[in-house]
Copies of this chain bind each other. A is one copy, B any other.
Amino acid sequence: MDERTEIGTLGEFGLIDFLTKDIELLHSSTIVGVGDDAAVIDNFGKQTVISTDLLVEGIHFDLSYTPLKHLGYKAIVVNISDIYAMNAVPKQVLVGIGLSNRFSIEAISEFYGGIYLACKKFGVDMVGGDTSNSKKGFIISITIIGEVRPGKFVKRNTANKGDFICVSGDLGGAYLGLQLLEREKIIYVENPGVQPDLESESYIIKRQLMPEARRDVIEMLDSINVIPTSMIDISDGLSSEILHICKASQLGCLVYEDKVPIHNDTRRAAKRFNLDPLTCALNGGEDYELLFTINQSDYNAVFNSGLVSIIGNMTSREERVKMILISGDEVSLSAQGWNTFHK
């Protein structure tokens, strides 16, 4: 205990790697452990998929502009998204909360109202949890359990060279919604009398406060009998997630800027904030769309669904993780952003 290395030197993923590197799995029923969106447990018939999340006030959410009902809804949805990212169906959830006496029962009811709304919408049973005091701030712990037909679950490390890269919906909106809410908060603190007009920004605000998990995409894939070769949900931005798939699958990829889906409202908002919409899509995070790879033979079936954009393809590791810009330039993608290098 004499040595002291700051956690910041590792970063979150480095810390997870560090903490889990010595794990030995004991049970043949433990099919997927640490290192993916969720764990898979064989239960002789169906496989159980389970994931957990810890959300802390002041770190993951700001109650000054997040209604508690939206917070409850989002807490469930982002966990359901992890289950979908395994190509599984969410079934049960456990919710632990820690709260200080600054919260009233009515406030917590609002929060659970959002939780139950999401549970109902996505067909999930709440089956347990824990309530606790907190000295300061609101703490939320969510554990979600799903099931999947044996062998049908999809990991991150199984993409193949040549596979097409698909992304559902559009990207960058949730990040711009956050920028807007943060800006309005500062304006409000300085001028409490000013009422913001957020009507015209409803799309990006909804993307931030009330994201949806892509049940429709998972059901579409099932209906056309396509199992992605790898999948992950986009919580930290497209770049970071693509890098996860490339690293885990020991591959590179080529993504085309003009194929990255960005909503017009997102583009407009980015312009007002003097931000590059592509950067918002690549690094913004919290969109909770699905990123997955498919075999080339599944291209038509997936493309015709109308739910996904096909944004590139997997290459060999030597070809690295790259994007072709509309300008024709090639850039290398990184988790923190992207570094231009001209050919």
- The interface of chain A, by Cβ under 8 A from chain B, is 1, 3-10, 12, 15-16, 18-20, 22-23, 25-27, 29-30, 32-34, 38-39, 41, 43-46, 48, 50-60, 91-92, 94, 96-99, 101, 103-110, 112, 116, 123-137, 139, 141, 143, 145, 147
Distance to closest chain B CB from A287 (angstroms): 19
Determine the chain B residues whose CB is within 8 A of the CB of A22 once the complex forms: 116
Select A143's contact among B50, B107, B108, beta carbons within 8 Å.
Answer: B50
Select A18's contact among B43, B44, B59, B105, beta carbons within 8 Å.
Answer: B105
Determine the chain B residues whose CB is within 8 A of the CB of A135 once the complex forms: 56-59, 136-137
- Interchain Cβ contacts under 8 Å between A and B, 6 examples: A7-B103, A33-B92, A41-B92, A51-B94, A52-B143, A60-B132
The count of identical subunits is 2
Select A50's contact among B3, B55, B112, B145, beta carbons within 8 Å.
Answer: B145
Per the bound structure, the CA–CA distance linking A107 and B128 in Å amounts to: 31
The residue of chain B having its C-beta at the shortest distance from the C-beta of A48 within the complex is B48
Instruction: Determine whether the beta carbon of B98 is less than 8 Å from that of A128.
Output: no
Instruction: Determine whether the beta carbon of A7 is less than 8 Å from that of B105.
Output: yes
Select A51's contact among B1, B16, B128, beta carbons within 8 Å.
Answer: B128
Determine the chain B residues whose CB is within 8 A of the CB of A116 once the complex forms: 22-23
Instruction: Determine whether the beta carbon of A39 is less than 8 Å from that of B127.
Output: yes
Instruction: Determine whether the beta carbon of B30 is less than 8 Å from that of A92.
Output: yes
Determine the chain B residues whose CB is within 8 A of the CB of A4 once the complex forms: 104-106
Instruction: Determine whether the beta carbon of B143 is less than 8 Å from that of A94.
Output: yes
Instruction: Determine whether the beta carbon of A125 is less than 8 Å from that of B54.
Output: no
Determine the chain B residues whose CB is within 8 A of the CB of A57 once the complex forms: 135
Distance to closest chain B CB from A107 (angstroms): 7
Distance to closest chain B CB from A153 (angstroms): 13
Select A34's contact among B105, B107, B126, beta carbons within 8 Å.
Answer: B126
Per the bound structure, the CA–CA distance linking A337 and B50 in Å amounts to: 39
The residue of chain B having its C-beta at the shortest distance from the C-beta of A12 within the complex is B131
The residue of chain B having its C-beta at the shortest distance from the C-beta of A123 within the complex is B26
Instruction: Determine whether the beta carbon of A107 is less than 8 Å from that of B1.
Output: yes
Distance to closest chain B CB from A143 (angstroms): 4
Determine the chain B residues whose CB is within 8 A of the CB of A48 once the complex forms: 41, 43, 48, 145
Select A141's contact among B43, B45, B51, B96, beta carbons within 8 Å.
Answer: B96
Per the bound structure, the CA–CA distance linking A19 and B95 in Å amounts to: 11
Instruction: Determine whether the beta carbon of B125 is less than 8 Å from that of A25.
Output: yes
With A43-B147, A131-B15, A139-B139 known as contacts, the answer to whether A52 contacts B105 (CB < 8 A) is no
Distance to closest chain B CB from A151 (angstroms): 15
Instruction: Determine whether the beta carbon of A128 is less than 8 Å from that of B7.
Output: no
The residue of chain B having its C-beta at the shortest distance from the C-beta of A51 within the complex is B128
Determine the chain B residues whose CB is within 8 A of the CB of A131 once the complex forms: 12, 15-16, 19, 54
